[in-house]
Structure 1
Amino acid sequence: MTIVHDSDDMPSDLTSAPERYVNRELSWLSFNRRVLAEAENLRYPLLERLRFLSISASNLDEFTMIRIAGLEGQASRGIETTAIDGTSPRQQLDAIRDDLLVIEARQQEALETLRELLFREGVRIANIDQLDNAEIDWLREYFATEIVPLITPQAIDPSHPFPFVANMGMGAIFRLKRGKRKGDLVEMVLIPSGVPRFVRVPGDPVAYVAIEQLITRFADVLFPGFKILGDGLFRVLRDSDIEVEEEAEDLVRFFRTAIQRRRRGRAVLLELDSDCDAAAEALLREQFDVDPAMIVKTEGMLSLRHLDSICNEPRPDLKFAPFDPRYPERILAHDGDCFSAIREKDIVIHHPYESFEVVVDFLHQAANDPAVVSIKQTLYRAGDQSPVIAALIEGAQNGKAVTAVVELKARFDEERNIHWASELERAGVQVIYGFTDLKTHAKVSLIVRREEEGYRTYCHFGTGNYHPVNARIYTDLSFFTADPALGRDAAKLFNYVTGYVEPSTLEALAISPLGLRERLEQLIDREMANVAEGKPAGIWCKLNAITDRRMIDKLYEASDAGVPIYMIVRGICSLRAGVPGLSENIRVKSVIGRFLEHGRIWAFANGHELPSRKAEVYLTSADAMSRNLDRRVEVLVPITNKTVHDQVLGQVLLASILDTEQSWALGPDGEYYRMRVGEGGFNCHEYFMSNPSLSGRGSALKSQEVPHLSLGGAAQGKPS
């Protein structure tokens, strides 16, 4: 089924046709194909390619558990709500399944290619039959001593009903016979989550063997005296979305129960190995109530998401060269005193090129500074070992008034966030869970400090989460300021979340769902007015996704008015780019590389040619999605400091536009095409890894050799 049409087949009137939009789900699958393409990228080291393969598989699992599960739920309940492109849930499912099969087959092809290439480098992802006798003997001993005590065979018969298989559960099923017993015996072995997926066989070359191969190969250890008539491997994915009930009186209790329900959610996907025993397959099909179209027989390895564990093999020659983030020079120039540096001038930090440690140090300094009176912090995702949590606890123990807004509705982090909320409350932190019907997605720290002139507020606004691991992988921006207006607005933001006190006015920030959308629309309208008045106009933006119909239509309107628009959209893009009569002035690209692009930036020409110091620049925590603009608490932060403005617009945003070596251009047909790689290309990740710190170098920026951009050249991927 084709949902995205070629521009040649489009109706002449696109003002209301569904063809003016790209289906969200198919656009996401296109994004994951770009991730998978990095596993096939010949310029990357082999273990990094394997990691990208693992990421693409993990992405696909989450897509199945959330997006496919949601569409199946709508279809089964007869809900005919159409997507942005006019397709019904059932039509989307049909198109998605076609794409899924193609992607999964391509993943298996990528694995086979990487197996062969890694084998040549002394790293085997081996089938057990490829090992020599000594290695097989070692595995048999390992299985008997290390694995058998952890697994439990379960008979399946009238007195032993079919066992429950948890979400993402994986197992083996056996058909056995013993002696002259007339009937077959069916046994199931579920693989415990604590068992390593791949067993590392020592030696040279090293070998990794999937745990399920040990279970099927050494079944005689589990079932002595039985004859193995057949076996099969399987995996189950379940509906993992959590819908918050508005009448829920206790959010913590609700989520604790909902997390348990998620583990037992409706089965969405049943994956079988291609050699699965016919009788075992029939039993599995019967026991799992899965749409037949979502029962997939895989020619290869099940669950490729765990391949990332092999990437820990100590082979630096097969990985990216190590990169250590730089500590911000501005902070070092003030002997590590974050408050002194921020008080002197606003600072922007570009992660992961500059260290996330400065965010942690900012909070730790606040926790231990006698002059600090209060600390307020939003927490969406904080990670397992969170130094941010430790700093907040430290502050409370030191007598500060510490408030933490913990978002329980952060998908797949609900359980971790409940844990952190309990730890914070035990330490005396005031924990707020925010709104029932809105997610608090804004990334804000607010610190009030008593100084000679009176109380001064210091703020941190981020485009990414307070997550130290992600901060080494995701490209994000941290903005530190002591601007009084931003401090007053940040205080109103916290009052809105903690006390439902809706701000009547804001001096600088825009907040969703109270006016962020409207602010962006006003800025776009102004660019159209500038075109009408013969002034220069333009919009540059960097986002993770754009799916909101109203925002897309506003950008189409701007394009039609003659506003040149350049967009870097990493993932889902429901906007069609470069279509005559619709979006001919819009260019869209996606940057996929070593780091995950995550920073969100808007820039508006404001009557001057971009890039210009007269342009208006904003950082935000929000993507151009309805959920961000209407159903989440987000912030849009204006950048007015000259140095920070130049860094964000003239370096971060400009270099992303100039990049060709990691970029995919979106064509009018809805397909993405690789931009130029090799001689004459530009790699923004390498540029930021090799250039000096961005943080507050002031006049030193003038000597930075950032290529000048002309929009015509950039549209072709050519710096000029």
Structure 2
Amino acid sequence: MLNLKNPDLYNNRETSWLQFNTRVLKQALDESLPLLERLKFLAIYGTNLDEFYMIRIAGLKKLFAAGIVVSSADKLTPLQQLREIREYLHQEQQVAEHCLVSILKKLEHEGIKVKDYHELSQGQKHYLNRYFNENIYPVIIPIAVDATHPFPHLNNLSFGLIVKLRDSDNASIERFGIIRVPRVLERFVELENDIYIPIESIVAEHVEDLFPGYSLIKFASFRVTRNADIEIEEEEADDFLEILEEGLKLRRKGAMVRLEVGSDGDEEIVNFFNRHTNVYQDDIFRFHTFLNLSSLWQIVSNKRFAHLLLEPFKTKTLPPLDHSENIFATLEKQDILLFHPYESFDPVVMLIQTAAKDPDVVSIKMTLYRSGKDSPIVKALMGASEAGIQVTVMVELKARFDEENNLIWAKALEKAGAHVIYGIKGFKVHAKATLITKKKNGKLKQYAHLGTGNYNPSTSKIYTDMSYLTSKDEITNDMTRFFHFLTGFSKKGKLNELYMSPSQIKPKILSLIQNEARKKSDGRIIAKLNSLVDEDVIRALYKASQAGVKIDLIVRGICCLKPGIEGVSENIRVISILGKYLEHARAFYFKNDEAGVYISSADWMPRNLTRRIELLTTIKDQKAKEKIVQILKLQCADNSLAHELQSDGSYIKVKHDDIKTINNHLLLEDYVNKVTKASAKESMGTLEQIMSNIFNEENNSAV
């Protein structure tokens, strides 16, 4: 019998993530995409890499320092992982820089130019000199470093210049200094005619204004990355709000894990800087282009060049939510499954706004993980509370990188009179759920929203997620129990139609996989998720494959399972879809299960299954089930945006069919547009039948 714990059967989590980010970089390299679309993917690549260093590399360093030898199913030690990652990233940096240079050169032909100060005309230099004096000089921070001036603390993602100076009165005296460029200043200064000047290029020309009496010998730009993972000792936290606020301050002071240096950074400059910061040599990256790829968003967002992006899609509200009938009345007649961003997130916002103004609504209960900065949903909740409706909101203060924003909303909700829960001790609450209770004919009636994504109208336009709206008692009764668990004390919370982690989701998933395995070659699984890491789930999938079950996995990011291994996983296919939208939904189809179709807030990772409060939702409505299965089958058939995982951990772009090109993003846009334009007569039949007809026309042989 094969040993399914053999480390050779597992991809390393970190290197699998690197492969994902490489797929993002490949989008930037794709010459079939518009230029600013390519630049956008390069910005995403850089942002992803920043977070990877702040969290994952920082974590591996801590494991290594703690002497932990084995931390994952592949059995690689933290040190082995760090070595592989560093080698991978130093090689890939050259690809990213070449990509940036190539895109910028082509953008020049379109009218967008990135230039250094010394490349400008005298008139442009004169303008920038005035701009420096009026806008940069008052806020820039020149810092001398010597025996009486200690090296400054540099916050996470601090950016600036390292300078070497000579005393104008005594040429034998040379000194080093730091110029910090505050984040309030834009990364590029924009001139007329769409010329972008990197701010360090302007600052470098005025170093001697910042250090009077000294002349500039040389300089280099720098950027630092620190450990940004907040550790909260909850056992000692009497006031969770207070300790989180303190943790946010400490994040800025975490251990330095990466140093990026500009092309002028010679050994002397780097050594000076590193004597004070002590960054490991292999975590120092020297760039020949400008630092901070994530800052490219400033150029991407130039509205005058929107034609250099993919054509934007206007999300639609489809029947039955496109008419004036009260949304509660609609939900009493039928369940609704929305697939964002093709179908608008507005009905979800409208549900909460309608409830907030309805005099018959008794209570609104909701979980908030990431809600955005200007949230209409939070404003509606505040209005509802002020109007006397009982509002209970679970605001997850531990939502990484959104803690500060969530603190602001939590305080505002409390001020409006809402009952705010600041997390559950020992767990993150990642579930996406809303429960509305209102009076109807002398009784209480409840309405629910369960989703795979956050209550954030902004990201709902670029993330693919699913929303399930229902008034079915079996669902809403479970949600009542769920919110009682969040607000009260319970060690034995059990739901019936919903499944809650940390106690229920993993056993349910394992049971569903095992049930398909018992059906052998008649078994069928399609699972769509962001990451697959959990060893027990992977082993269950391996066993199902060995039994003959056909398994399709649509995994956007990390996948530690290796498909295509003879005798283990030859019946498993894994694809990753990258394109116009960020694939974020979690949806599952199990052919031989009575319910058959589920959506979830949880990925198949240990953190989601054992260390978070998540929900797995049984889809009760037949039309909604059919719609989800159609979407899953369409994505499995994609041969335009899909990359297929190989047994060695690499990914290969799925080739176009000679007859049909199947781009699921464009097909879904087309579906929504056709439904919107159809008259009542043409719309005979269900939305799912219309979708099925479109897909069969486009890719009947593939689905």
* TM-score, normalised with respect to structure 2: 0.95
Match of 1:598 in 2: 584
Instruction: Report 1:73-92 matches (<5 A).
Output: 73-92=62-81
Deviation at 1:403, TM superposition (A): 0.1
**Aligned partners of 1:504, 1:159: CA distance in 2, in Å?**
60
Aligned counterpart, 1:230: 218
Tell me if the contact between 1:707 and 1:719 (Cα under 8 Å) persists in the aligned partners: no
Please say if residues 643 and 698 of structure 1, whose CA atoms lie closer than 8 Å, have aligned partners that are also in contact. Answer: no
Equivalent of 1:451 in 429, 440, 449: 440
Tell me the amino acid that sits aligned with residue 684 of structure 1. Answer: N
Q: C-alpha root-mean-square deviation of aligned residues, in Å?
A: 2.0
- Amino acid paired to 1:662: L
Secondary structure at 1:331 match in 2: coil
Q: Contact 2:5 / 2:73 at 8 angstroms: preserved in 1?
A: no
Structure 1 position 285, deviation (Å)? 1.0
Displacement of 1:507 after TM fit? 2.6
Q: What pairs up with 1:367-382 in 2 under 5 angstroms?
A: 367-382=356-371
Aligned to 2:644: 665
Distance 2:60 2:198 in 1: 33
Which range moves more in the overlay, 546-555 or 679-688?
Answer: 679-688
Query: 1:35 Cα deviation (Å)?
Result: 0.5
> Contact between 1:360 and 1:387, CA under 8 Å: does it hold in 2?
yes
Alpha-carbon contact 1:199-1:208 (below 8 Å) kept: yes
Tell me the amino acid that sits aligned with residue 625 of structure 1.
M
Contact 1:655 1:706 in 2 (8 A): no
Q: Which of 103, 106, 113 is equivalent to 2:92?
A: 103
Match of 2:55 in 1: 66
User: In structure 1, what is the Cα distance between the partners aligned to 2:574 and 2:232?
Assistant: 35
Q: Which residue of 1 aligns with 2:680?
A: none
Letter in 2 for 1:669: D
The answer as to whether partners of 2:263 and 2:288 remain within 8 angstroms in 1 is: yes
**Residue 13 of structure 1, CA deviation:** 5.1
Pair 1:631-2:611 in alignment: yes
- SS of the aligned residue for 2:485 comes to helix
Query: In structure 1, what residue type is equivalent to 2:177?
Result: E
SS at match of 2:164: strand
Partner Cα distance (2:297, 2:505) in 1? 39
Aligned partner of 2:545 in structure 1 is 559
Instruction: Classify 1:703/1:260 alpha carbon distance in 2 versus 1 (closer, same or farther; 3 Å).
Output: closer
Q: Would you say the 8 A contact 1:658–1:709 is kept in 2?
A: no
Q: CA deviation at 1:219?
A: 2.3
What are the Cα deviations for residues 435-474 of structure 1, in whole angstroms up to 9, with x where unaligned?
1211110000000011016211100000000111111110
Q: Which residue identity is paired with 1:600?
A: R
Q: Deviation digits for residues 129-164 of structure 1, max 9, x if unmatched?
A: 333332222222211221111112111121111111
- Say whether 1:186 aligns with 2:176: yes
CA distance in 2, matches of 1:332, 1:460: 18
Deviations 1:29-60 (A, max 9, x none): 00000011111112211111101000000100
- Please show how residues 86-165 of structure 1 align to structure 2 within 5 Å: 86-165=75-154
Q: Mark the CA change 1:700 to 1:629 in structure 2 (over 3 Å): closer, same or farther.
A: closer
Equivalence for 1:523: 512
Q: In 2, Cα distance between the equivalents of 1:210 and 1:16?
A: 51
Q: Which position in structure 2 is the counterpart of 1:674? A: 653
1:325 aligns with 2:290: no
SS at match of 1:176: strand
- Name stretches of at least 5 consecutive residues in structure 2 with no aligned partner: 677-682
The answer to whether the 8 A contact 1:21-1:85 is kept is yes
Map Cα deviations across residues 647-682 of structure 1 (whole Å, 9 max, x no partner).
1112x2122112111100111221100012486210
The one-letter code sitting in structure 2 at the alignment partner of 1:689 is E
Equivalent position of 2:12 in the other structure: 23
Report the AA paired with residue 276 of structure 1. Answer: G
Deviation at 1:621, TM superposition (A): 0.5
Residues 1:615 and 1:444: Cα distance change in structure 2 (over 3 Å): closer
Cα distance in 2 for partners of 1:485, 1:709 equals 37
Which of residues 564, 580, 597 in structure 2 aligns to 1:578? 564
- 1:220 is displaced (CA, Å) by 3.4
1:101, CA displacement in angstroms? 0.9
Gap change, CA 1:615 and 1:364, over 3 Å in 2: closer
Residue 85 to residue 468, structure 1, CA distance change in 2 (3 Å) = same
548, 557, 564: which one pairs with 2:534?
548
Counterpart in the other structure of 1:217: 205
Deviation at 1:699, TM superposition (A): 2.5
Write the distance in 2 (CA, Å) between the matches of 1:77 and 1:697: 65
**Higher mean C-alpha displacement, 510-519 vs 278-287:** 278-287
**Is there any run of 5+ residues in structure 1 with no aligned partner, and where?**
1-11, 608-613
Residue 624 of structure 1: SS of its match in structure 2?
coil
CA contact (8 A) 1:352 1:476 kept: yes
Mapped to 2, the partners of 1:447 and 1:544 lie a distance apart of: 29
Please say if residues 352 and 473 of structure 1, whose CA atoms lie closer than 8 Å, have aligned partners that are also in contact. Answer: yes
Determine helix, strand or coil for the equivalent of 1:691. Answer: helix
Counterpart of 1:619 in 2: which secondary structure? strand
SS at 2:241's partner residue?
helix
SS of corresponding position for 1:154: strand
Greater CA drift, 240-249 or 191-200: 240-249
Shift of 1:255: 0.7
- CA-CA distance at 1:277 after TM superposition: 4.5
In the other structure, the counterpart of 1:243 is: 231
Q: CA deviation at 1:692?
A: 2.7
Give the equivalent residue in structure 1 for 2:664.
684
In structure 2, distance between residues paired with 1:581 and 1:702: 39
Tell me the amino acid that sits aligned with residue 611 of structure 2. R
1:330 touches 1:697 (CA, 8 Å); kept in 2? Answer: no
SS at match of 1:541: strand
SS of aligned partner of 1:199: strand
Matched, 1:259 2:238: no
In structure 2, the residue corresponding to 1:332 is in which secondary structure? coil
**3-state secondary structure, aligned to 1:120:** helix
Distance 2:556 2:467 in 1: 19
Q: 1:599 to 1:697 in 2, by over 3 A?
A: farther
CA distance in 2, matches of 1:239, 1:129: 36
Query: How many residue pairs end up in the alignment?
Result: 691
Contact 2:530–2:584 (CA under 8 A) maintained in structure 1: yes
Aligned equivalents of 1:657 and 1:103: distance in 2? 29
Distance 1:98 1:300 in 2: 20
Which residue of 1 is the match for residue 629 of structure 2?
649
| Offset of residue 554 of structure 1 | 0.5
What SS is found at the alignment partner of 1:681?
A: coil
Q: 2:381 aligns with which of 386, 392, 409?
A: 392
Whole-Å separation in 2 of the counterparts to 1:485 and 1:453: 20
Q: Distance in 1 between matches of 2:388 and 2:491?
A: 29
CA distance in 2, matches of 1:649, 1:183: 73
Structure 2 residue corresponding to 1:702, chosen from 686, 689, 696: 689
- Matched residues in 1 for 2:489 and 2:113: separation? 57
TM value normalised by structure 1: 0.93
